[in-house]
C-alpha cells in the first residue's frame, strides 16, 4: 500500500508544480504590464 502513496505523491506534484510556475509568470507579467501601461499611457 505504501508504494501507491509514493506514486500518487509524484503524480500530483507534476500538475501542482506546473500551475505554480504559470501563476508566478502570470503575476510577474501582470505586474509589468500594469506598471508599463501606467507609465506610458496610450493617447
Which SS3 state, helix, strand or coil, does residue 40 take?
A: coil
Q: pTM for the full model?
A: 0.67
Task: Categorize the per-residue pLDDT at 38 as very low, low, confident or very high, splitting at 50, 70 and 90.
Answer: confident
Q: What average pLDDT score do residues 3-13 get?
A: 77
2 membership: H or E segment, kind and range: helix 2-39
Q: Give the pLDDT band of residue 43 (cuts 50, 70, 90).
A: low
Amino acid at each position: 500500500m505504501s508504494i501507491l502513496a509514493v506514486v500518487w505523491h509524484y503524480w500530483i506534484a507534476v500538475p501542482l508544480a506546473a500551475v505554480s510556475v504559470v501563476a508566478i509568470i502570470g503575476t510577474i507579467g501582470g505586474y509589468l504590464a500594469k506598471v508599463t501601461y501606467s507609465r506610458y499611457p496610450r493617447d
